[in-house]
Structure 1
Amino acid sequence: MTYLEGVQASGFGVLFPLPPLACAGCSATDERPAVAMEPDPKGCYVLSNLAEVVERVLGFLPTKALLRAACVCRLWRECSRRILRTQQSVAWVSAVESGPSDSHALVHALAEELEKVQVLPQTVLYVADAETFCGHEESRGHGQKKARRRNSKEIAAALEKLLPKRCQVLGLVAPGVVVTPIGSQSNRPLEIEEGEAGFALLFPKIDGVKIQTFHFFKDLKTRALDENQFAEAGLKNNPDLRVVLLFGENTWKPGATRFVHQIVNRLNEKSIVLAGGHVESFTSLMSENNARPAESCGVVGLAFSGAQIQSATVLLDQDVIDERTAEAAMQRLKAANIPEHNSLGFMFACVGRGYQYYKTKPNLEADAFRKFFPNVPLFGFFGNGEIGCDRIVTGNFILREYDTKDDLLHGYTTVMVLIHLGSSKTNQS
């Protein structure tokens, strides 16, 4: 299967109808007949024969428009294929303001921004606030039925319908969201503890990097974990595993602590950065979720493998109480000397921190991160428990060298993570 055939198989070709166009000068057996019009002979010659010019022009197109252009003729198809291979930078869509009452602002933002981005998503991680994403009802008065305003599964289905059909999708709902507004990676990240907000990270196919989703749910009949699932997710016998982002659901239930420890302890290796937190619920991976018992304890996540990946994480514990101590923690992260180009930051904080914890000073931890990493976008959430520790993995240096395992499960803390995905290919411009 060619690269472009793989793109079409992903579902984008179905989602975006292709226009019946043909490039003048191309063989009629290649494509569809041309629209009747008077062509410019010189322009037709250039756009039909000079690959360098065509590739330069098509390089300005968003990915959805580029996929349509790829069906015009053979030359354009080859140029589009080469351009798609260069689009290896992570993109994101964010929503920080309320949307229509029948949906969520992130759905509308994603629908709009997918028309503009230059990335073909292969893996998507999205996070939304629990208050407005999950279903609730509005009363219409005495004797009248309550009108359903939002339903999390319906909203998740609407959101994921916008993405390629074979895209890996992991969706989470949390009490609060940490998000960098769309537009520039240097925008100030925001800690949104109340109100409607969300983000979607769009990971393309990246040379030398493999990203896999995984899920484990507590089996009431057995205490043993399925070793095959660990291997299939790249979490076992994988020397290139560098980072695991781990998220728990219903971890307050009886037996959940032991279940989470089973998973975390298997991944608690000095060569792996492990970070994450506990959320209100999972909203994607619906086909897998449908088979699990209702309200069961579960763990999902993303595994990042690749020799070029570098990462570091620091724990802001209860001793971090003001701007000075928060910045001291960021200095530890900065000291890891992780490249900041083509990197992402993650913040997983306890719902008890934030505005009230720092005595009514908002956005303190996100601002501290931005002070030391002004060009690295930051994403994350406020949750019900945190996973992580101080650890650096760069391939030639590891912060932790102790024989004992690090304590990775915490409460009332914040975990900051920096992930570098390697040197990305430069997009066409």
Structure 2
Amino acid sequence: MTEQNLEEDNKIESLSSNDVLTTIYDVNRAIFRHLPIHSIDLCSLVCKSWAHVGHLIKTHRHTIHSLTYPTDPLSTIADSSYLLSDFDTFISCYIHIHLWSIPYLALVVTTNSLDRKGFHSSSDCSLRPAKYPRRSHSQTTASQTERHNISEALIHHVNKSCKVLTVVSDGIIASNDKNQSNEIELNDAVGILLLPKFPPNILGIYPFEITNKTPISNNMSRSDLHQLLGCVPDDISIRCVILFYTPRLLQTQMNNCIKKLLEYYSSEVVIIGGYINRSRYDDRQSKHKTLLNNACGLVLTGDRTHLNIRQVVLKSHIQTREAVRDKLKELKSIENEQCYLSFGIQVSCVGRGVDFYHQESNVECSEFQKLFPNTSLIGIFGNGELGHDYLLNDNEASQQQQRTTKESLKDLFHTYSTIFSIISLRM
């Protein structure tokens, strides 16, 4: 036996069982860090030790995912895109390979046409005996085909704690898994933004739904307003409200809601939203039937040291790519560059698409992507836009000036405009 072998044997004998276990634990943890969620879940079934490591890894992951179905939505869409099996295959593949964090909320935008068609599943009954041989062919086909809306198709793939908020509009803006954004006006497509659960001081996410029968009185308290908007705790300040609603049924309620937001938060709250065709919200807990014409949205909270929100309005006079780029540059800040995670919201008028830019597509979202190449973007084309410029700086005087600038309800509503909001997180 050589001297080197003797030395190695002595080192092995000097290691205690605790040292070996600690080394194995560190190795497992290092390996788990490179695995997607699906693989970690499979590994967690091996033993308690692996399950413990997997739990710790998943708890500390905070990745924002974006995907578009189909991946190239501006190309000609084949008939198979409406088959539930194709959508299932696409989502399953993405989750098994790319899902890095457990989703807490799925924000879904879908085109009106695709929502009406839905995804269709059909069962192969060729090997089954015919119960009703006298049925016509059309009757048999109808009985074998089921229609599923976007929410129903997606819910089967996400964890049971993931809430799903679906917004339906004539056109959508969505990013695929490579952060390539598209403004989809004519083709059928769905965009999905998967947000994990963050520490509350970094980002609190409170989805909400408001029916047309919900009373919003002029004397509503701040606490009641918080309960209305996703049950936000009274001791937490609302930083941003993303609001979607149908104009005919909920105009009065939404106006009253926005008035109360401005009353209690003045200009400290960021408001963005627009008119949509319909929405669906499934909190995965209540058993009531989902309605289609409710207002819905998200409330965002978080400490100013961790959560930075900036927003600009591209008004009707901004009509060239250069003007769009100059306006979007106002969203750039030192905070944006230093933040680890971010996502963007775009709400555009249906009149600001391809026709507005002389048959050039993706003008506005592509300019945003050039400035923020690592930021996922999601949004809608609506029939009215809700928002305002919000460019809060670190300068204390600028902050104080913005707080004292009182905004009115009419200042928030626009036509032929686009509103961009970027939400940046410093972890």
- TM-score (structure 1 length as normaliser): 0.75
Distance 1:238 1:414, change over 3 A: farther
The aligned runs of 1:267-286 (5 Å cut-off) are 267-268=261-262, 269-285=266-282
Matching residue of 2:209: 215
Matching residue of 1:82: 56
Distance 1:288 1:357, change over 3 A: farther
Matching residue of 2:351: 352
CA contact (8 A) 2:170 2:185 kept: yes
Shift of 1:67: 1.7
Alignment match of 2:258 (pick from 264, 271, 279): 264
Q: CA separation in 2, counterparts of 1:336 and 1:118?
A: 27
State the AA in 2 paired with 1:210: G
State the AA in 1 paired with 2:108: Y
Shift of 1:155: 3.6
Q: CA separation in 1, counterparts of 2:341 and 2:93?
A: 24
Matching residue of 2:239: 242
CA contact (8 A) 1:179 1:378 kept: yes
Q: CA separation in 1, counterparts of 2:160 and 2:254?
A: 31
CA contact (8 A) 1:136 1:149 kept: no
State the AA in 2 paired with 1:193: E
Alignment match of 2:217 (pick from 207, 220, 224): 224
Shift of 1:310: 0.6
Q: Which moved more, 1:51-60 or 1:335-344?
A: 335-344
Stretches of structure 2 that go unaligned for 5 or more consecutive residues are 1-18, 121-136
Q: Does 1:100 align with 2:86?
A: no
The aligned runs of 1:92-171 (5 Å cut-off) are 92-96=66-70, 97=73, 98=77, 99-103=80-84, 108-116=89-97, 117-135=99-117, 154-171=149-166
State the AA in 2 paired with 1:230: L
CA contact (8 A) 1:136 1:150 kept: no
State the AA in 1 paired with 2:103: P
Matching residue of 1:3: none
Q: Deviations over 1:330-377 (max 9, x none)?
A: 122225853453011111101111101112121111122122222222
State the AA in 2 paired with 1:283: R
Residue 327 of structure 1 aligns to a residue whose secondary structure is helix
CA contact (8 A) 1:95 1:105 kept: no
Matching residue of 1:251: 247
Residue 359 of structure 2 aligns to a residue whose secondary structure is coil
Q: CA separation in 2, counterparts of 1:131 and 1:82?
A: 42
Q: Which moved more, 1:365-374 or 1:342-351?
A: 365-374
Q: Deviations over 1:44-93 (max 9, x none)?
A: x9899611111112222210221221221122122112211231121222
Alignment match of 1:410 (pick from 410, 414, 418): 414
Q: CA separation in 1, counterparts of 2:393 and 2:142?
A: 53
State the AA in 1 paired with 2:280: T
Residue 412 of structure 1 aligns to a residue whose secondary structure is coil
Q: Does 1:379 align with 2:378?
A: yes
Shift of 1:242: 1.6
Residue 352 of structure 1 aligns to a residue whose secondary structure is coil
State the AA in 1 paired with 2:217: A
Q: CA separation in 2, counterparts of 1:133 and 1:154?
A: 6
Residue 114 of structure 1 aligns to a residue whose secondary structure is helix
Matching residue of 2:3: none
Q: Deviations over 1:131-158 (max 9, x none)?
A: 11223899xxxx9789699987544212
CA contact (8 A) 1:103 1:150 kept: no
Q: Does 1:204 align with 2:196?
A: yes
Distance 1:368 1:49, change over 3 A: closer
Matching residue of 1:33: none
- TM-score (structure 2 length as normaliser): 0.76
Q: Percent identity over the alignment?
A: 21
Residue 324 of structure 2 aligns to a residue whose secondary structure is helix
Q: CA separation in 1, counterparts of 2:26 and 2:302?
A: 32
CA contact (8 A) 1:234 1:241 kept: no
Shift of 1:257: 2.3
Q: Which has the higher helix share?
A: 2
Stretches of structure 1 that go unaligned for 5 or more consecutive residues are 1-44, 424-429
Residue 328 of structure 1 aligns to a residue whose secondary structure is helix
Matching residue of 1:65: 39
RMSD between superposed Cα atoms in Å: 3.3
Aligned pairs, how many?
366
CA contact (8 A) 1:59 1:83 kept: yes
